[in-house]
Amino acid sequence: MLIAAIDQGTTSTRCILFNHEGQPVATAQQEHRQIYPRPGWVEHDPMEIWAHAQGMFAEALARVNARVADIAAIGITNQRETTIVWERATGKPIYNAIVWQDTRTADICAELAKDGGQDRYRAKTGLPLATYFSGPKLKWLLDHVPGARARAQDGELLFGTVDTWLIWNATGHHVTDVTNAGRTMLMNLATLDWDDDILRDLDIPRAMLPRIASSSEVYGETREGAPVAGDMGDQHAALFGQTCFAPGEAKNTYGTGCFMLMNTGETPVPSSNGLLTTVGYKIGDAKPVYALEGSIAIAGALVQWLRDNLGLIHQSGEIEALARSVEDNGGIYFVPAFSGLYAPYWREDARGVIVGLTRFVNKGHLARAALEATAYQTRDVLDAMNRDIQASIDTPQAPISPLQSLKVDGGMVRNELLMQFQADILNVPVIRPTVSETTALGAAYAAGLAVGYWRNIEDLRAHWRADKTWQPRMDDATRDRMYRGWQKAVTRAFGWVEQ
């Protein structure tokens, strides 16, 4: 028997089949269209996503001559916050999916912030008011699609993030898990239920919202009888797949964006340093485990931009060789605030800048600065995390140790230059696991636990193996000088968009 994980990401949909040792035995992947109707708007076609999920599941099975009967359970992990509304009767979306990167809700967020500021809902949700989250996107859809709000109140329309959309199509059940619900800005972290006051403020009918479940339970079965039993937002799944089960353990995923999560145990740690307080995961009836998260909007997407918009490289993998063609960044810094800056700044008025340009600078320096930008942004997040952890020492919960090492995953961890620079600028070891597809692995683990394929988290921890460790090699003076340059560059990105 195998476990299937559907990993529905920002740019592609994958299905990976895992065996009992947590090793991938088959993978199928397909990219989907990125739709940009206007500057700052990003959409996906929900029907295309569902078709690709079905197709990749079938293709993965075919690669190992497996049948649906050979699948013990299916786990789903997904791009978070991306918002879909569809007709209950027909399953037809009323609009394209509005993607997490989309900034069209800036005016809605600004209007809500007039009463209570950007942190109006932070105490309840752990989140600041930002275009990133689903609640304002759902409000935009209800405001702009004719008749949508009345139809939602009558129970004709359903809302879901991508996990809910896939589970509904696969099983007919309208459900989400706590990790995805926690990214809507509509769920109360204390009750793990939709918050009626916030729903009222955003004028969102409760009738259209899915049931909030744990991350590991049987939600329903497919038409072929396979149980769908795991559901985690992608970054939470990576935390789980990296077996960060103890408070103080952290992972950083390098994908389109970059996302660092640290396990903070069974008590949420509030952030006063621009981070998100979020549910890390909840396994069945066990207590939820919380996390601090730093979300970075642009990481691998910057390499894609150099490839697709500037033609600097032909394939993303060429960025490392180009960056290695020079000894350093030539004095330039690249702040990729294409859609504002996320953690820890939360500046929607920021836009991308390259600073420090001289005639000495060439395309190698540009490539190197682009890679370094991801590492610097990760340093911003880790410094904020350490400040929040220090502040939490005065609270009743058990103290959390500062980060001793960073587990990494995602597409960019194959870039050895970036990983070494990351270790240097953080001054902690950076560890890549043997199974780099930890997002899909986390979803598989959640599904497998629900059906008894694995007994407990100790079974899972035994599967984790390190592939490579990068030790910091940079001296303190150089590290401090380079990071000061980055901090100065970030301020140059602020205030570009006039609200």
User: Which pLDDT score is estimated for 394?
Assistant: 60
| Cβ atoms of 75 and 7 closer than 8 Å | no
User: Which pLDDT score is estimated for 404?
Assistant: 84
Model confidence over 309-366: pLDDT tens digits?
A: 999 999 998 999 999 999 999 999 999 999 889 889 988 889 999 999 999 999 999 9
Q: Which positions ≥6 away from 177 have C-beta within 8 Å?
A: 163, 212, 213, 214, 215, 231, 232, 233, 282
User: Which pLDDT score is estimated for 432?
Assistant: 95
| Cβ atoms of 126 and 182 closer than 8 Å | yes
The DSSP-derived string for 256-314 is SSEEEEEEEETS----SSS-EEEEEE--TTSPPEEEEEEEES-SHHHHHHHHHTS-S-S
Model confidence over 404-432: pLDDT tens digits?
A: 889 999 889 999 999 999 999 999 999 99
> Can you tell me the distance from the alpha carbon of 218 to that of 493, in angstroms, rounded to the nearest whole number?
46
Binding residue positions: 10-12, 14, 80-81, 132, 234-235, 256, 300, 304, 411, 415
> Can you tell me the distance from the alpha carbon of 385 to that of 408, in angstroms, rounded to the nearest whole number?
16
User: Which pLDDT score is estimated for 11?
Assistant: 87
User: Which pLDDT score is estimated for 393?
Assistant: 64
Q: Residue 13 — pLDDT band, cuts 50, 70, 90?
A: very high
> Can you tell me the distance from the alpha carbon of 313 to that of 319, in angstroms, rounded to the nearest whole number?
7
Q: Residue 375 — pLDDT band, cuts 50, 70, 90?
A: very high
User: Which pLDDT score is estimated for 279?
Assistant: 96
Binding residue positions for glycerol: 80-81, 132, 234-235
Can you tell me the mean pLDDT for 206-212? 96
User: Which pLDDT score is estimated for 402?
Assistant: 76
User: Which pLDDT score is estimated for 289?
Assistant: 95
> Can you tell me the distance from the alpha carbon of 245 to that of 137, in angstroms, rounded to the nearest whole number?
32
User: Which pLDDT score is estimated for 118?
Assistant: 87
> Can you tell me the distance from the alpha carbon of 75 to that of 445, in angstroms, rounded to the nearest whole number?
8
User: Which pLDDT score is estimated for 39?
Assistant: 86
User: Which pLDDT score is estimated for 499?
Assistant: 64
Going by C-alpha positions, the residue among 102, 237, 225 that lies closest to residue 180 is: 237
| Cβ atoms of 26 and 16 closer than 8 Å | yes
For residue 94, the cross-strand partners are none
Q: What percent of the chain has pLDDT over 70?
A: 98
Can you tell me the mean pLDDT for 140-146? 96
Q: Is the pLDDT of residue 12 over 60?
A: yes
| Cβ atoms of 247 and 268 closer than 8 Å | no
Going by C-alpha positions, the residue among 318, 321, 418 that lies closest to residue 377 is: 418
| Cβ atoms of 218 and 450 closer than 8 Å | yes
Q: What is the pairing mode between strands 258-265 and 250-254?
A: antiparallel
User: Which pLDDT score is estimated for 397?
Assistant: 58
pTM score of the predicted model? 0.89
For the record, the structure tokens of 371 come out as: 């890679």
Angle at 413 between CA 410 and CA 415, to 5 degrees: 140
Q: Is the pLDDT of residue 49 over 60?
A: yes
Q: Is the pLDDT of residue 396 over 60?
A: no
Q: What is the pairing mode between strands 353-355 and 333-335?
A: antiparallel
> Can you tell me the distance from the alpha carbon of 332 to that of 320, in angstroms, rounded to the nearest whole number?
17
Q: What percent of the chain has pLDDT over 90?
A: 82
CA torsion 154→156→162→167, rounded to 10°?
110
Comparing 386 with 220, the larger pLDDT belongs to 220
Can you tell me the mean pLDDT for 39-66? 96
Q: Which domains does the chain possess?
A: 1-212 (3.30.420.40), 241-498 (3.30.420.40)
| Cβ atoms of 243 and 461 closer than 8 Å | yes
Model confidence over 251-276: pLDDT tens digits?
A: 999 988 899 999 999 988 888 888 99
User: Which pLDDT score is estimated for 391?
Assistant: 79
Q: Is the pLDDT of residue 198 over 80?
A: yes
> Can you tell me the distance from the alpha carbon of 271 to that of 53, in angstroms, rounded to the nearest whole number?
36
> Can you tell me the distance from the alpha carbon of 435 to that of 47, in angstroms, rounded to the nearest whole number?
30
> Can you tell me the distance from the alpha carbon of 336 to that of 163, in angstroms, rounded to the nearest whole number?
28
Q: State the DSSP code for 251.
A: E
User: Which pLDDT score is estimated for 201?
Assistant: 96
Can you tell me the mean pLDDT for 102-108? 93
First-to-last alpha carbon distance for the chain, in angstroms, is 55
The whole-chain average pLDDT of the chain stands at 93
Query: From its phi and psi, is residue 96 left (phi > 0), alpha (psi between -120 and 50) or beta?
Result: beta
For the record, the structure tokens of 229 come out as: 């039993």
Sign of CA dihedral 177, 179, 183, 188: positive
Burial of 117 (0-12, 13-18, 19+ CB in 10 A): exposed
Q: What is the pairing mode between strands 289-296 and 258-265?
A: antiparallel
Binding residue positions for sn-glycerol 3-phosphate: 10, 80-81, 132, 234
Binding residue positions for ADP: 10, 14, 256, 300, 411, 415
Model confidence over 148-162: pLDDT tens digits?
A: 999 999 999 999 999
> Can you tell me the distance from the alpha carbon of 330 to that of 306, in angstroms, rounded to the nearest whole number?
18
> Kind and range of the H or E element at 354?
strand 353-355
Binding residue positions for ATP: 10-12, 256, 300, 304, 411
> Can you tell me the distance from the alpha carbon of 356 to that of 369, in angstroms, rounded to the nearest whole number?
11
